[in-house]
Structure 1
Amino acid sequence: MAAAVACALVAVFTVLLPLSHTASGDGSTGLGSGGVADGVQARADDCSPDEKGHEPERSLDPKGDQNGEAVKAIKARGYLSVGVDQNSYRWGYRDPNKGLGKTGSQDAKTSELEGFDIDLAHEIAGEILGDPGAIRFRAIPTNQRIPAIKSGQVDMVVRTMTISCDRLADVAFSTAYFQTGQQVLAPRASDITGYDKSLAGKRICTAKGSTAETALGDGRDKNEIPRSADITTTVPNQLDCLVRLQLGEVDAVVTDGALAASQAAQDPTVQLKGEPFTTEYYGVAMKKGADDLVRRVNQVLEDYRRGGKGSGWQKSYDKWLEADLGPSSGPPAPKYK
């Protein structure tokens, strides 16, 4: 029964229209004029996860210019365009119960996007434009996050997006706002015990373009998991992996532990197996060269982190994530270049 309910929720979340907004406008998105020069923030060749001072989560210090071309374009337009997920429970999703009218039918106007990432997006819009509601959301599949930024479809992506050296070749990132790690999700009765030899011969699902996909490929090449593990199943959105698991088409899912926990909350017939086998950080992704916007977002994150109990980052964590992830030790400290 729980699996059926989860499948139904997935279906509801997936078929909804990808746009939700509370600001007026002509429907255009992006950073406006395209003459943004490449900045120094996103130099992937200087990036090394294991070398102090060169970690990918280092970003531009907010003390610099925060009102350049990118920020001015957003202010002139009057709203912030943000790429988000609408399928990740507790992070970016729609609660169909909140959209039910008196007749019991769905009302998209009251079924708003909500979750931890959505709270942060509203915070950024409020700081830049003075109105947390001056925002347009675009639901973007995992493998379309970077193309949406590079093409100017969105100003930024706030979508459980891991900061990595590879991605810094294409986009710029804020400082980290959440720490997580890759983890295995499988049925409770499965003999899978985690990221180990128990994955031999198992079919594993990941989201296309995700760090999970990369980590699995690297792990198999390094013999961290058996070479017989089948890692060929990839899907546009990580939640699609949960559906494949429920249908018996795969044996396990690998995704960020924070997302895996939210999937387990949706479907109690599955559970996290073993410990996280990587350490990763989520960041807000933006267009390369939009240094003023990166600095502005980093300033927002400074204020958001220090909000304290009952406000800011901690308040959002307590509301959306504590039930599934347990008490938090707080957000990761910012690292600047």
Structure 2
Amino acid sequence: MRVRRLRAGLRGWGGVGAMATVCALALAFVLLLPRTQSHGTAPAVGGSRAAQGLQARAGDCTDADAQNRSPAPSAAGGPTVDAIRKRGYLSVGVDQNSYRWGYRNPNNSSGALEGFDIDLAHRIAKEILGDGDKVQFRAIPTNERVPAIRSGRVDMVVRTMTITCDRLKQVAFSAPYFLTGQQVLAPRTSAITGYDTSLAGKRVCSATGSTAYDHLSADRRSGTLPATTDISTTVPNQLDCLVRLQLGEVDAVVTDGALAASQAAQDPAVRLKGGTFTKEYYGVAMKLGADDLVRQVNRILDQYRKDGGWKASYDKWLSPTLGADSGSATPPVPVYR
């Protein structure tokens, strides 16, 4: 019975190719992705309303301005950048299951990763190493993004990662490269209307370690969210929430609106409910103390915005789901510390 329901829920994914995507979720936690189009064989190394009042302080930091704390751009080298150049490739933590962000297109015979975040990772590799293909991708679950950076498993994470004060205590961030906000995803026929009292008595899924869960938890404690809302279902990878929704194990998903829009595009049986209820910025996450790399990435992002690379990538990957005139359709203007 469960298999039949899963197959029915996945009709909007595109048949066999979509089923393969879901099966791949079980491997995503430990999978070392093959280097896409890279050279050499170097080894791997080692979010408004009341919800927006959620603040995690680091000194005088608040989440409303956490995105404004990255150092100014610079082309200067340093120990981190020098080590990457000596090694000959960039190690990047990404998602391989987020449609249009970082995913494997079943229609692409090469099996290469595609999406908005993947484009950015290639651009960073091109600017630092002179070749956009000198990048090694590692599949990183949502709840492993910070540990992967802190342990040195990756040089950076480019994976729809919101800049927050709490995270700034653990990793360094580039200037923001994308604006989004939390939103509710639910079955099209559901009576849920958004992030409001319609969630009373409903089972809501979010990813472990995500800003979505932080808001759900804080808002239920404060009374912004009904006390009967069940937020106990958490998963390592955000996309797993969509599978839980399709199986009928939860009634709704709370995640970034940009990701939710892509998921709604995958499955016509679900839709976005209500508008975004936070304002959040994605940044490229790197190790604390790697200021030379952070400044290099900020320089690259500055050029990426100015030369049209960012807009071209948005138009290709995200405009079909978010729209050409959405609040996310233009890159955020950086403010450096």
Shorter-chain TM range is 0.7 to 0.9
CA offset at residue 292 of structure 1? 0.2
> SS of the residue aligned with 2:34?
strand
Q: Give the distance between the partners of 2:59 and 2:8, measured in 1 at CA.
A: 47
The aligned residue for residue 292 of structure 2 is 292
Which of 53, 72, 77 pairs up with 2:82?
Answer: 72
Q: How does 1:315-326 map to 2 (within 5 A)?
A: 315-326=312-323
Offset of 1:24 from its aligned partner? 2.2
2:60 to 29, 46, 65: 46
Aligned residue for 2:271, secondary structure, equals strand
Aligned partners of 2:195 and 2:274 also within 8 Å: yes
Inter-partner Cα distance in structure 2 for 1:10 and 1:184: 23
Moved more, 179-188 or 18-27: 18-27
Give the match's secondary structure for 1:48.
coil
- Counterpart in 2 of 1:241? 241
CA distance in 1, matches of 2:97, 2:314: 18
| Letter of the structure 1 residue corresponding to residue 180 of structure 2 | T
User: Residues of 1 paired with 2:319 and 2:119: CA distance?
Assistant: 15
One-letter amino acid matched to 2:257:
G
Equivalent residues of 1:84, 1:159 under 8 A apart: yes
Task: Give the TM-score normalised by structure 1.
Answer: 0.88
Seen in structure 2, the aligned counterparts of structure 1 residues 140 and 55 have a Cα distance that, compared at 3 Å, is closer
Aligned residue for 1:327?
A: 324
**2:9·2:247 contact (CA, 8 Å) conserved in 1?**
no
1:103-122 map, 5 Å = 110-122=110-122
1:70-123 deviation digits (Å, cap 9, x = unpaired): 000000000000000001000000012223xxxxxxxxxx11001000000000
Match of 1:27 among 28, 32, 43: 43
Return the match for 2:311 from 304, 314, 331. 314
Match 1:88 to one of 92, 98, 120: 98
C-alpha change, 1:9 and 1:273, in structure 2 (3 Å) is: farther
The residue correspondences of 1:191-206 to structure 2 (distance < 5 A) are 191-206=191-206
Instruction: Report the Cα offset of residue 141 of structure 1.
Output: 0.3
1:143 aligns with 2:140: no
String of CA shifts for 1:151-210, please: whole Å, max 9, x gaps.
000000000000000100100000000000000000000000000000000000001000
Equivalence for 2:223:
223
Q: Secondary structure at the match of 2:176?
A: strand
Q: Which amino acid aligns with 2:307?
A: G
CA contact (8 A) 1:179 1:280 kept: yes
**CA shift for structure 1 position 27:** 1.4
CA, structure 1 residues 3+9, in 2 after alignment: closer, same or farther (shift >3 Å)? Answer: farther
Please, which moves more after superposition, 324-333 or 252-261? 324-333
Measure, in 1, the Cα distance between the counterparts of 2:68 and 2:163. 6
2:10 partner SS: helix
Query: What TM-score, normalized by structure 2, do the two folds share?
Result: 0.88
**Equivalent AA in structure 2 for residue 48 of structure 1:** T
Is this contact kept in 2: 1:13–1:93, CA < 8 A? Answer: no
Q: Determine if contact 1:163/1:173 at 8 Å carries over to the other structure.
A: yes
> Is the CA contact (8 Å cut-off) linking 2:91 and 2:155 kept in structure 1?
yes
Task: Say if 1:281 and 1:2 are closer, same or farther in 2 by CA, change over 3 A.
Answer: farther
**Unaligned 5+ runs, structure 2:** 1-6, 47-56
1:38 counterpart residue number: none
Q: How many percent of aligned residue pairs carry the same amino acid? A: 63
The residue type paired with residue 82 of structure 1 is V
Q: Which residue of 2 aligns with 1:39?
A: none
What is the aligned-residue RMSD (CA, Å)?
1.6
Give 2:42's aligned amino acid.
D
Structure 2 residue matching 1:10: 3-state secondary structure: helix
Contact 2:183–2:275 under 8 Å retained in 1: yes
Query: How many residue pairs were aligned?
Result: 308
Give the letter aligned to residue 3 of structure 1: G
SS of 1:73's partner is helix
Q: Shift of residue 2 of structure 1? A: 6.7
Q: CA deviation at 1:223?
A: 1.1
Cα deviation for residue 55 of structure 1 reads 3.3
- Counterpart amino acid of residue 316 in structure 1: S
Distance in 2 separating the partners of 1:71 and 1:25:
20
Distance 2:158 2:42 in 1: 22
CA distance in structure 2 between the partners assigned to 1:23 and 1:158 by the alignment: 21
| Rounded Cα–Cα distance in structure 2 between residues aligned with 1:232 and 1:183 | 18
Give the ranges of 4+ consecutive aligned residues of structure 1 lying more than 4 Å apart after TM superposition. none
CA contact (8 A) 1:200 1:226 kept: yes
Task: State the AA in 2 paired with 1:87.
Answer: N
CA contact (8 A) 2:66 2:163 kept: no
> SS in structure 2 opposite 1:81?
strand
Residue 305 of structure 2 is aligned to residue 305 of structure 1: yes
1:139 is aligned with what amino acid? A
Unaligned runs of 5+ residues in structure 1 are 31-42, 100-109
Aligned mates of 2:313, 2:307 — CA distance in 1: 10
Q: Is the 8 A contact 1:57 1:163 kept in 2?
A: no
Instruction: Quote how far apart the aligned CAs of 1:12 are.
Output: 4.8
Checking the alignment, whether the CA contact within 8 Å between 1:2 and 1:269 is kept in structure 2 is: no
